[in-house]
Amino acid sequence: VKENNYRGHGDSVDQLCWHPSNPDLFVTASGDKTIRIWDVRTTKCIATVNTKGENINICWSPDGQTIAVGNKDDVVTFIDAKTHRSKAEEQFKFEVNEISWNNDNNMFFLTNGNGCINILRQVPVAAGYPELKPIQSINAHPSNCICIKFDPMGKYFATGSADALVSLWDVDELVCVRCFSRLDWPVRTLSFSHDGKMLASASEDHFIDIAEVETGEKLWEVQCESPTFTVAWHPKRPLLAFACDDKDGKYDSSREAGTVKLFGLP
């Protein structure tokens, strides 16, 4: 593995996401009120876009044309990935947690602090960027709804909540088909395997739950020594990457280690 450092942000980098089809591009959201697009081949920043607030969540549309970024003031800004200009922005009256397009690229989902999933539909307008019209708000959880992920097959999406539950939803019917309840702490990260058959979820529990999507049964428990921040399945293999709140060394117990671990290597 070749390791590179990408320097440029002036504050914490809270989230990154890759271009949906171009493996050389990724984008980062930072508290320095910018997002940056990076090119892996040159390891350089190819664009810096100024935003209004401190950014905490980011996603790239499946067609690669739009980047959505959310800030601490619950404003979501839609940025043209080619011109790097802001196309639209939406101010929400509730805490916006994670944001995502559906796989068909025509609806925009966000999880909020009231336990709801808000769904907005893109309505084409004569000139310019499609308008986002709220079409539904689903009461998904009794407490803060934190994360959302769509499965690669386009059949389901999953949400994780502060009530320690993961709920699995049918994309077409928008009904909850099952819940996974093996975690005891707020669910902060989710990932579907490349074939959509497995769902990994993690929290401050010292293990990662790997469930079979169709039955809800536990397939495996990956033990960790500290809370898990993020999990991500490999796009082609049953290999899970994860990062925990590990601390460096015996003496400096406050410094984060920044280690990425893999589960499932042969």
> Residue 63: which CATH number?
2.130.10.10
Tokens of 95: 């805490």
Q: Are strands 198-202 and 207-212 parallel, antiparallel or unpaired?
A: antiparallel
% of residues, the chain, pLDDT over 70: 98
- Asked, for residue 86, whether it belongs to a domain, the answer is yes
Q: 3-state class of 239 per DSSP?
A: coil
- Asked, for residue 20, whether it belongs to a domain, the answer is yes
Say which residues have a Cβ less than 8 Å from residue 188's Cβ, sequence separation at least 6. Answer: 146, 147, 160, 202, 203, 204, 228, 229
What is the arithmetic mean of pLDDT over 201-214? 98
Question: For the chain, how many structural domains are there in total?
Answer: 1
What is the arithmetic mean of pLDDT over 216-230? 96
- Asked, for residue 28, whether it belongs to a domain, the answer is yes
Half-sphere exposure of 12 (CA within 13 A, CB side): 7
Task: Kindly tell me if the per-residue pLDDT of 69 is higher than 70.
Answer: yes
- Secondary structure (DSSP) of 23-77: TTEEEEEETTSEEEEEETTTTEEEEEEE-SS-EEEEEE-TTSSEEEEEETTSEEE
- Asked, for residue 179, whether it belongs to a domain, the answer is no
- Asked, for residue 42, whether it belongs to a domain, the answer is yes
User: For 19-40, how does the pLDDT look when each residue is reduced to its tens digit (9 = 90+)?
Assistant: 999 999 999 999 999 999 999 9
pTM tops 0.85: yes
Looking at every residue in the chain, the average pLDDT score rounds to: 94
- Asked, for residue 196, whether it belongs to a domain, the answer is no
50: closest CA among 9, 17, 16?
9
> 53 lies in which domain range?
1-139
Query: What does each C-alpha distance from 59 to 2, 63, 68, 98 come to in angstroms?
Result: 25, 12, 5, 9
- Asked, for residue 120, whether it belongs to a domain, the answer is yes
User: For 164-199, how does the pLDDT look when each residue is reduced to its tens digit (9 = 90+)?
Assistant: 999 999 999 999 999 999 999 999 999 999 999 999
Task: Kindly tell me if the per-residue pLDDT of 217 is higher than 90.
Answer: yes
What is the reported pLDDT for 254?
A: 74
What is the reported pLDDT for 246?
A: 87
User: For 137-167, how does the pLDDT look when each residue is reduced to its tens digit (9 = 90+)?
Assistant: 999 999 999 999 999 999 999 999 999 999 9
- Asked, for residue 154, whether it belongs to a domain, the answer is no
